Structure 1
Amino acid sequence: MAAPKPLSPRFAVPLAIALLLALGLVADFLWSSSSSSGTSGRGQLASASRTATAKKSGRARGKKPAAEGYLNATYADIPAPRWDWEEMPAAPVPRLDGYSVQIGDLLYVFAGYENLDHVHSHVDVYNFTSNTWTGRFDMPKEMANSHLGIVTDGRYIYALTGQFGPQCRSPINRNFVVDTVTKEWHELPPLPVPRYAPATQLWRGRLHVMGGGKEDRHEPGLEHWSLAVKDGKALENEWRTEIPIPRGGPHRACIVANDKLFVIGGQEGDFMAKPGSPIFKCVRRHEVVYGDVYMLDDGNKWKQLSPMPKPNSHIECAWVIVNNSVIIVGGTTEKHPITKKMILVGEVFRFDLDTLTWSVIGRMPFRIKTALAGYWDGWLYFTSGQRDRGPDNPAPKKVVDHDQLLGDY
């Protein structure tokens, strides 16, 4: 039988190249399969909290090591010391997007969702000295139920703008103040326009409100207003326009320390009401989470500082000041690039107000967003919010029903 004719160079060269490419793809596939079955390219994650269900409570003392697992780098937590957490008395109701302020040994916890179809219109009070929930009083029926701006001067609590009602209803521009001694409420002059979850603080005798989400709940606002206040009363009839914040959006920490105003983290975009929905049903929209930090120290110009260790949002009441440092617990970071699911944060961050630098100092018992933080007698507390689905799944689970947690710091 005659031998086959050799391929001409015209066909042989392309065929050889194709074979080499195919071999390369097979090798790459085998290497990837091998890597994914081991630990290469993965970040470490804490083991599951001993708080097995959302209805338990706890607190932690010290930084005891715990078992560690591995999590795909897409979700990787930043390496951090393990803290023990000790369970504490159950909170009276579950809360998502609730708000809080601390006055002495009391934590005042406001409003929030119980679920998307039900919002609270009252304040619960936790006593750090007795470690008990000791009080409850009603909010004005006309006051927003979530996405507030909130701040205290040590007696009066100012609760500003926010969303009125469940699901993704519209914001209102009405503002209220409560005397924590008498429990009496009064109304303040309305904001020029409504805002969702604006950054809010008292600074140099003025109530500052900035950023947040605009009326459609999605577009970030840059506006910044202030109002002179004293002892729970407005000294002016209208809000004054201030220098806009460089980057807008809701769900940020806003802090005054060393006579400087800081705005930390946040996001651009948020869920919106479904067009035509009679109940303003929430539907997802694109969000960008960031870790930007801005400081205003002379009232005339914002200065951008070192960003957070990771982008972080839903932290407006998740912070305390300890030893001239800002401590921030939990939050949400950038969404999963493929599934687009929300990724919760489980680290405890420290911002040194002397050096203006960041570090990661601990880990929560689980990842959680919209946690409400407090600090008393050497203990770091948090309560409420929405936790993760487990150590290997940082997506949100149900709203934490009755958690009151604290850790030694």
Structure 2
Amino acid sequence: MGRVTSVVVGKHKSSKLALLCVALLGLAFLLDLFWASSNSPPSIYQSFISPKKIVFLPFSSNNTQPQKEGKKKDGKKRFLSDTFADLDGPELNWEKMAGAPVPRLDGAAIQIKDQLFVFAGYGTIDFVHSHVDIYNFTDNTWGGRFDMPKEMAHSHLGMVTDGRYIYVVTGQYGPQCRGPTARTFVLDTVTKQWRDMPPLPVPRYAPATQLWRGRLHVMGGSRENRHTPGVEHWSIAVKDGFFLEKEWRSEIPIPRGGPHRACVVYNDRLYVIGGQEGDFQAKPGSPIFKCSRRNEVVFGDVYMLDDDMKWKSLPPMPKPDSHIEFAWAIVNNSIVIVGGTTEKHPETKKMILNGEIFHFNFDTLKWSVIGKLPYRVKTTLVGFRDGWLYFTSGQRDKGPDDPGPRKVIGEMWRTKLKL
């Protein structure tokens, strides 16, 4: 009996030892997960928090697939695609003009003749503007401020003009990462009067918006959760500031959805340029809808809709570019696009701003870099008048050696542009 008892006791000790080992392994796994999550990068929508400095080396033209060199913590070399660095381009002479009355991020702008109407936008992540400022290119002054409708979105707007009336479609209502609205408005820029128009079938953030062949077209953007790309495409007949139909009509979906892209019409063709898939979302349970980071994919895709009402892919941008919905101007037979954001840094995962002026010739379908900005900037607002290219507002970089976003600005700059 004593021998049997000792065997049983030995088995119990072995079982306890095995269970202890399993528990220790589990604890180590949990500690590893906790360390990884605690070292994840902060939200880029915390616009005024400075991440670690990132140094980007100059563009090298010796490689067919250009790369830049850096060092890991262990001293070994690493190579990163120049997608994440500045592209070569000519230096331009920039002149600083009178700054906007307020700084704004994710605002909107429409140029009509010698006036630039600048709408809404974040002042800070916790404060949004609800008014319009006007810049006069003739005398280079700001003035004529007036209020927006109380029900109108404050950022991520879809917007286009027919030369007098400005159509404003959907967008985000409120600061942080609040929800979108489906409301639609029309502004008479002569009388400064607003009208309420039929809402979009569903709310959207930053949809591509244009007037084409007598219809107001609204495409893509982000869906109601602010993150999921929308590919839906609607249109409605409009004329002289009035909607001629009671309901929106479904059109051919856009090949790739998402917000923050340029949308233009040239020579009776509709173009959608750049953008991204994914965006920040409200943190679950947050009473202020605090922005929470989500994965984003920035792209440089270019699509054209023609007489066949079929989307065609055109040569992509020199590098991925987003946050450019009001950062463009048509100049002669070309479009110029100012700044924006590209793919996040592959190691730090920080947002990287663009400091180039991209040029696309509609006749040759070729892209080029025609200039560098005074600094990198996203969601800037662009105008072009009498050979001068202007930009104002947005969020600029931390400095020449750090392309991460920092300060929301209201500065106005211009340069003489010859194409």
Contact 1:43 1:71 (C-alpha < 8 Å) held by counterparts: no
Q: What is aligned with 1:29?
A: none
Per-residue CA deviations over 1:310-329 (Å, capped at 9, x if unaligned) read: 00000000000001100000
Q: What is aligned with 1:21?
A: none
Per-residue CA deviations over 1:207-266 (Å, capped at 9, x if unaligned) read: 000000000000000000001000000000000000000000000000000000000000
Contact 1:120 1:145 (C-alpha < 8 Å) held by counterparts: yes
2:408 matches 1:403: no
Task: Report 1:97-116 matches (<5 A).
Answer: 97-116=106-125
Q: Within 1, Cα distance between the matches of 2:336 and 2:143?
A: 26
Gaps of at least 5 residues in structure 1 are 1-40, 46-69
Q: Within 2, Cα distance between the matches of 1:227 and 1:84?
A: 43
Q: Within 1, Cα distance between the matches of 2:103 and 2:292?
A: 22
Q: Within 2, Cα distance between the matches of 1:71 and 1:256?
A: 40
Task: Report 1:37-186 matches (<5 A).
Answer: 42-44=57-59, 75-186=84-195
Q: What is aligned with 2:30?
A: none
Q: Within 1, Cα distance between the matches of 2:302 and 2:296?
A: 18
Per-residue CA deviations over 1:75-109 (Å, capped at 9, x if unaligned) read: 42110000011110011000000000100000000
Per-residue CA deviations over 1:294-346 (Å, capped at 9, x if unaligned) read: 00011520000000000000000000000110000000000001111000000
2:307 matches 1:298: yes
Q: How many angstroms does 1:134 deviate by?
A: 2.2
Secondary structure of 1:161's partner? Answer: strand
Corresponding residue to 2:289 among 277, 280, 290:
280
Identity of aligned residues (%): 70
Q: Within 1, Cα distance between the matches of 2:408 and 2:57?
A: 28
2:401 matches 1:392: yes
Corresponding residue to 2:269 among 254, 260, 272:
260
Q: Within 1, Cα distance between the matches of 2:348 and 2:187?
A: 43
Q: What is aligned with 1:212?
A: 221
Query: Which residue type is aligned with residue 351 of structure 1?
Result: F
Q: Within 2, Cα distance between the matches of 1:397 and 1:172?
A: 28
Corresponding residue to 2:387 among 375, 378, 390:
378
Q: Within 2, Cα distance between the matches of 1:314 and 1:200?
A: 14
Q: Within 1, Cα distance between the matches of 2:85 and 2:158?
A: 31
Q: Within 2, Cα distance between the matches of 1:299 and 1:113?
A: 40
Contact 1:207 1:226 (C-alpha < 8 Å) held by counterparts: yes
Contact 1:71 1:392 (C-alpha < 8 Å) held by counterparts: no
2:336 matches 1:327: yes
Q: Within 2, Cα distance between the matches of 1:196 and 1:211?
A: 9
Per-residue CA deviations over 1:103-140 (Å, capped at 9, x if unaligned) read: 00000000000011100110000000100002111100
2:207 matches 1:192: no
Secondary structure of 2:391's partner? Answer: strand
Structure 1 length as normaliser, TM-score? 0.83
Structure 1 pair 71–83 and aligned structure 2 pair: CA distance change class (3 A)? farther
Contact 1:314 1:369 (C-alpha < 8 Å) held by counterparts: yes
Q: Within 1, Cα distance between the matches of 2:290 and 2:407?
A: 18
Q: Within 1, Cα distance between the matches of 2:155 and 2:69?
A: 33
Q: How many angstroms does 1:44 deviate by?
A: 4.5
Query: Which residue type is aligned with residue 267 of structure 2?
Result: N
Q: Within 1, Cα distance between the matches of 2:380 and 2:155?
A: 14
Structure 1 pair 238–330 and aligned structure 2 pair: CA distance change class (3 A)? same
Structure 1 pair 392–71 and aligned structure 2 pair: CA distance change class (3 A)? farther
Q: Within 2, Cα distance between the matches of 1:86 and 1:156?
A: 31
Q: Within 1, Cα distance between the matches of 2:413 and 2:308?
A: 37
Contact 1:175 1:190 (C-alpha < 8 Å) held by counterparts: yes
Query: Which residue type is aligned with residue 406 of structure 2?
Result: K
Q: Within 2, Cα distance between the matches of 1:173 and 1:236?
A: 17
Q: Within 2, Cα distance between the matches of 1:99 and 1:406?
A: 18
Query: Which residue type is aligned with residue 193 of structure 2?
Result: E
Q: Within 1, Cα distance between the matches of 2:393 and 2:99?
A: 10
Q: How many angstroms does 1:386 deviate by?
A: 0.2
Gaps of at least 5 residues in structure 2 are 1-55, 61-67, 71-79
Query: Which residue type is aligned with residue 144 of structure 1?
Result: A
Query: Which residue type is aligned with residue 397 of structure 2?
Result: D
Q: Within 2, Cα distance between the matches of 1:299 and 1:236?
A: 23
Q: How many angstroms does 1:408 deviate by?
A: 0.8
Pairs aligned (count): 344
Q: Within 2, Cα distance between the matches of 1:135 and 1:84?
A: 29
Please provide the CA RMSD for this pair: 1.4
Q: How many angstroms does 1:398 deviate by?
A: 1.4
